[in-house]
Amino acid sequence: MIRVTIFNEYVQEQLNKRVFPFQEKWNEEGIRHMAARADEIAAAHEGKAIHDTLKALVEEDSEVEVRHIANLEMPECGLTEEVLEDTDVLLWWSHIAQEAVPDEVAMRVRDHVQRGMGAMFLHSAHMCKPMQFLLGTSCTLRWREGDSEHLWCCNPTHPIAKGVPVCIWLEQEEMYGEFFDIPKPDELIFIGGFSGGEVFRSGCVWNRGYGKVFYFQPGHETYRSYFQPDIRRIIQNGVRYLANPEHRQEKLECIWVKE
Amino acid sequence: MIRVTIFNEYVQEQLNKRVFPFQEKWNEEGIRHMAARADEIAAAHEGKAIHDTLKALVEEDSEVEVRHIANLEMPECGLTEEVLEDTDVLLWWSHIAQEAVPDEVAMRVRDHVQRGMGAMFLHSAHMCKPMQFLLGTSCTLRWREGDSEHLWCCNPTHPIAKGVPVCIWLEQEEMYGEFFDIPKPDELIFIGGFSGGEVFRSGCVWNRGYGKVFYFQPGHETYRSYFQPDIRRIIQNGVRYLANPEHRQEKLECIWVKE
Amino acid sequence: MIRVTIFNEYVQEQLNKRVFPFQEKWNEEGIRHMAARADEIAAAHEGKAIHDTLKALVEEDSEVEVRHIANLEMPECGLTEEVLEDTDVLLWWSHIAQEAVPDEVAMRVRDHVQRGMGAMFLHSAHMCKPMQFLLGTSCTLRWREGDSEHLWCCNPTHPIAKGVPVCIWLEQEEMYGEFFDIPKPDELIFIGGFSGGEVFRSGCVWNRGYGKVFYFQPGHETYRSYFQPDIRRIIQNGVRYLANPEHRQEKLECIWVKE
Amino acid sequence: MIRVTIFNEYVQEQLNKRVFPFQEKWNEEGIRHMAARADEIAAAHEGKAIHDTLKALVEEDSEVEVRHIANLEMPECGLTEEVLEDTDVLLWWSHIAQEAVPDEVAMRVRDHVQRGMGAMFLHSAHMCKPMQFLLGTSCTLRWREGDSEHLWCCNPTHPIAKGVPVCIWLEQEEMYGEFFDIPKPDELIFIGGFSGGEVFRSGCVWNRGYGKVFYFQPGHETYRSYFQPDIRRIIQNGVRYLANPEHRQEKLECIWVKE
């Protein structure tokens, strides 16, 4: 079994019901705007939260078991050493509270990826701290809500593209556009084209130490992308591709060798 | 001075006036279709041929001198050893008669690139023999006439992107779309997005031996892309980037070294 | 079952017994030198030819079946359309008669790789025509007979490195050294260090269309490298990694799409 | 003029004369061992410190001016916002006190590189925090003191290799060997081979945002590598290659674009 942990920020889903401690720094209009969206998110996710959608999605693969659901308000964001040791692949969805993840937690995730854990960063997680710490770039981009997207495969034999057509149409997706400030991907698999004319490197893999990172762009919180079979298939393929328990290292350190 | 040679197939411009020996194998409807287009090409290129447009374009850079204009009907396609020895950067435009270039000429071009000559393949030259011999792939793609294009830069510090905006709009361009069968570019600089929804790796560099190859997608024969200042600038930047006379090798061979 | 075809030039093994038509162009001293080595080759390969060694090696993997043994003197080098259609992975060993392979055969091999066949080029095959046509570079290098080699893995999670230690010692190997004129590998897996001080990118993978190419440096004809378990394991891993029957394409061509 | 800042940890040079606050955590034998080496360092560096050697080296290029010398004990390690704003290329030498650099300073360096500053990490700086934060890997390796090294160029047309021979011999260098845990280099320029048989990716470039990172392995504190003309030339070439003031960004942030 592939052991999956899902981290969902889990803020936007609740913003119409309660007050988060870290929202103090945000402006009020932004909070009202986001809170108003909570119902839309619930509608898109069939009354549940984003982590529920992702859990059902990855467990469609009978070889996958979700071992932990983590969120921002759990102690250590729910990502303790024990949880990460028990994880082959970590899925990460986050958006409006990236700064609320402590550096220490983000570096712990980074260290586990370097030692062999897989990490899949989804949609607006492009600017979460663990992704920035693993890639070393700002991961900034151009964006706008309300486009449709054609998602094209430019690497048709890649395991993550298995079983999906060369083009997937997403009737509604948030536009993410170049320049996307990422290191040159080790494997560029998908490029998105948006109805507004923008393009985006939407599916990218990087090797980091003994682990791999997969960034995948679709998945705006109020849209139905994660319910589209081809998108589900890509994420499921990604979990398989990232799982790498046989190479998990206990520790990475320099090795002194005598003459 | 950077010494440039321009190879233009130079067939479509004349197809309404004369008969080419190699057109025997083509179907008659195709010939009529292409011949009817000759006037359109002339109009787009201000009464001249594609090589004239390209000559004026590259010579806007005062450091560049076009030394030779070559075409398909010259002996050895105009690309003798002497011409290639006298060339720092070769520009190549071709379309409907790729097969008419002898393998021997294409391999001579390949060999000069390996020894340090730069080569820029433009638009429909994606399937010319020298490009296929240098890249090792089929260079096939998806296509359609009659779109507009947004050309995005995904590598803003690359010398070829110097002085151009992050997005260039081309009111008319032929759609070229993924999957584009090329090796992973050493440097991916531009991605095009077309009005029909397709995307394309439109500006790519590969190192081959002591030389470099730049493929650049805009430049359909009946459109005005080569008269657009930002496109001109990219091609001019490309000539500078590819020019590499100080590294030109006389011969590439294995080197035996004694103990 | 993975269907393997082995191409062995099969010249040096017989040079003490017979005269080959293409050896006319070689100098006599070179022929005498090589002919004198035939016994050494036989000794290293336990009385058999290089293709026999390779056949036994790959068939240690019970999922692999060698379907065809091809050599230089067979019609079309034994590599007809039918043979290549029946091949998932082609192993290629060649050395002194690279030029004797017709361009047409080499391009047929190239085309099958582009359509999805895997190709493994071994040791002195670095300059065979199919490898040059697939990579687009001269593949020249520095060389000397009579070193020992440390073969280091710089990509420990790569499937081709599965089950082998970070360093493999080869008591006798021919020195192959940089500058090795290859395109930047898509995956660099092994780097060799030789007793004379040279280094070499010894294990490299490139994607070409729907197929993959693996170059692997050990395997000098008079040495015992192919009988060393870790080297055998790497080649067996390579066969598995290159096999890709589910993606084999019938034909690669441009696709016209209507608006 | 290219504006260079040199960061030298500046600890080992003084370890025989004084006590550093952060050395409390080290074991006493290690301190004695390192302190005993201070005279050797002084001898290798002609009575001066490592930053003096590097300053003289880079200023041999008349286009280069060293604007700031920074070390571990200065407030903020001497790397304030003002200093980094005044820097086109940062050279970094560090070894035994990597942990003493505050995360905040290391992230400030990272941010400036992302915005366009060049960074050259030398020798034992492979594990300094800014390099780890920029690359996203552990940068661990295999090591031993007391080898000689052949440094081979595997990218002969790269600007950093300009004017140096294909092989440079270093009579004394510390062995650094694979597996070197780095991301796949965007440009691999040098590979070292050591007298003990190890190999190492010794000269690597990565793009990070609008800036570049160059790691270069030679430079053990008690050896004379930085006084060898070819090594000096490589570092001088590196400064020129990394300098990129025309692309320096004020801030990297996501860009919202309206429909």
- Strands, E, within B43-166: which ranges? 64-71, 89-93, 118-122, 142-153
Number of H helices, E strands in chain C: 7, 10
Whether A193 sits inside 8 A of B188 (CB atoms) is no
Q: How confident is the model at residue C30 (pLDDT cuts 50, 70, 90)?
A: confident
Residue A148: per-residue pLDDT: 98
Nearest residue of D to residue B244, measured between CA atoms: D157
Residue D219: per-residue pLDDT: 98
Task: Work out the angle between the directed axes of helices B229-242 and B50-59 (0-180°, nearest 10).
Answer: 70
**What is the torsional sign of CA D86, D92, D94, D100?**
positive
Collapsed DSSP state (helix, strand, coil) of residue C4: strand
Collapsed DSSP state (helix, strand, coil) of residue C77: helix
Q: Which residues contact B254 (CB under 8 A, 6 or more apart)?
A: C127, C140, C141, C142, C143
Q: Is residue D171 part of a domain?
A: no
Distance CA D100, CA B94 (A): 60
**For the segment C152-201, what is each residue's pLDDT rounded down to a tens digit?**
999 999 999 999 999 999 999 999 999 999 999 999 999 999 999 999 99
Question: What's the whole-number mean pLDDT along residues C117-133?
Answer: 98
A244 in C contact zone (CB under 8 Å): yes
Tokens of A114: 């370097």
Q: Is residue A154 part of a domain?
A: no
**For the segment A70-128, what is each residue's pLDDT rounded down to a tens digit?**
999 999 999 999 999 999 999 999 999 999 999 999 999 999 999 999 999 999 999 99
Q: Is residue C15 part of a domain?
A: yes
Residue A76: per-residue pLDDT: 98
Residue from the list B110, B184, B198 with its beta carbon closest to the beta carbon of C186: B184
**Residue B133 vs residue B259, higher pLDDT:** B133
CB contacts of D153 in chain C (<8 Å) are 178-179
Nearest residue of B to residue A183, measured between CA atoms: B155
Q: Is residue C191 part of a domain?
A: no
Q: Is residue D184 part of a domain?
A: no
Tokens of A18: 């309660």
Collapsed DSSP state (helix, strand, coil) of residue B4: strand
Q: Is residue A90 part of a domain?
A: yes
CATH assignment at residue B209 = 3.40.50.880
The rounded mean pLDDT for chain B is 97
Residue from the list C144, C184, C252 with its beta carbon closest to the beta carbon of B181: C252
Count of the separate structural domains present in chain A: 1
The model's pTM: 0.98
Residue ranges of chain D whose pLDDT lies below 50: none
Question: What's the whole-number mean pLDDT along residues B226-252?
Answer: 98
Residue B160: per-residue pLDDT: 98
Question: What's the whole-number mean pLDDT along residues B106-124?
Answer: 98
Residue from the list D114, D136, D206 with its beta carbon closest to the beta carbon of A134: D136
Q: How confident is the model at residue A12 (pLDDT cuts 50, 70, 90)?
A: very high
Report residue C28 CA to chain centroid gap. 27
Whether A152 sits inside 8 A of B179 (CB atoms) is yes
Residue A25: per-residue pLDDT: 84
Whether B150 sits inside 8 A of A199 (CB atoms) is yes
Q: Is residue B258 part of a domain?
A: no
CB contacts of A156 in chain C (<8 Å) are 210, 247
CB contacts of B30 in chain C (<8 Å) are none
Q: What is the 3-state secondary structure (H, E, C) of A41-64?
A: HHHHCCCCCHHHHHHHHHHCCCCE
Closest CA to C257 of B33, B27, B141: B141
Question: What is the distance in angstroms between the CA of the first residue and the CA of the last residue of chain B?
Answer: 43
C210 in A contact zone (CB under 8 Å): yes
Whether D247 sits inside 8 A of B210 (CB atoms) is no
Nearest residue of B to residue A181, measured between CA atoms: B154
D157 in B contact zone (CB under 8 Å): yes
Q: Which chains contact D through at least 3 pairs of Cβ atoms less than 8 Å apart?
A: A, B, C
Residue D24: per-residue pLDDT: 86
Question: What's the whole-number mean pLDDT along residues C206-224?
Answer: 98
Q: pLDDT > 70: what percent of chain A?
A: 100
- Chain D nearest C-alpha distance from C179 (Å): 5
**Residue A56 vs residue C30, higher pLDDT:** A56
Residue B216: per-residue pLDDT: 98
Q: How many CB atoms sit inside 10 A of residue A168's CB?
A: 21
- Chain C nearest C-alpha distance from A127 (Å): 27
Q: How confident is the model at residue B43 (pLDDT cuts 50, 70, 90)?
A: very high
Bridge pairing between strands D167-177 and D142-153: antiparallel
Query: Phi-psi region for residue D96, left (φ > 0), alpha (ψ -120 to 50) or beta?
Result: alpha
Whether B191 sits inside 8 A of A178 (CB atoms) is yes
Residue D35: which domain range?
Answer: 2-138+202-247
**For the segment A137-192, what is each residue's pLDDT rounded down to a tens digit?**
999 999 999 999 999 999 999 999 999 999 999 999 999 999 999 999 999 999 99
Residue A81: per-residue pLDDT: 98
Is B259's pLDDT higher than 80?
A: no
Mutate to test the interface with B, among A138, A144, A164, A191 (most CBs of B within 10 A): A191
Which phi and psi (to 5°) does residue A164 adopt?
A: -115, 150
D256: which strand partners? Answer: A143
Q: Which residues contact D74 (CB under 8 A, 6 or more apart)?
A: none
Residue C254: per-residue pLDDT: 97
Q: pLDDT > 70: what percent of chain B?
A: 100
A142 in D contact zone (CB under 8 Å): yes
What is the secondary structure of chain A as a DSSP string? Answer: -EEEEEEE---GGGTTT---GGGGGS-HHHHHHHHHTHHHHHHHTTTS-HHHHHHHHHHTSTTEEEEEEE-TTSGGGG--HHHHHT-SEEEEE--TTGGGS-HHHHHHHHHHHHTT-EEEEEGGGGGSHHHHHHH-S----EEEEEEEEEEEES-TTSGGGTT--SEEEEEEEEEEESPP--PPPSEEEEEEEETTS-EEEEEEEEEETTEEEEEE----TTS-GGGSHHHHHHHHHHHHHH--GGG--S----EE---
Mutate to test the interface with D, among C139, C149, C154, C202 (most CBs of D within 10 A): C154
Residue A259: per-residue pLDDT: 73
Distance CA A226, CA A249 (A): 32
**For the segment B45-73, what is each residue's pLDDT rounded down to a tens digit?**
999 999 999 999 999 999 999 999 999 99
Task: Note the ipTM here.
Answer: 0.96
> How many alpha carbons lie under 13 Å from residue B259 in its C-beta half-sphere?
6
B249 in C contact zone (CB under 8 Å): no
Nearest residue of A to residue D175, measured between CA atoms: A257
Is B182's pLDDT higher than 80?
A: yes
C154 in D contact zone (CB under 8 Å): yes
C-alpha distances in Å from residue B102, one per residue of B76, B105, B129, C84, C132: 8, 5, 9, 26, 18
C229 in B contact zone (CB under 8 Å): no
D180 in C contact zone (CB under 8 Å): yes
The rounded mean pLDDT for chain C is 97
CB contacts of C194 in chain D (<8 Å) are 193
D165 in C contact zone (CB under 8 Å): no
Whether B156 sits inside 8 A of D247 (CB atoms) is yes
Residue position matching structure tokens 């006379």: B245
Is C258's pLDDT higher than 90?
A: no
Q: Is residue D173 part of a domain?
A: no
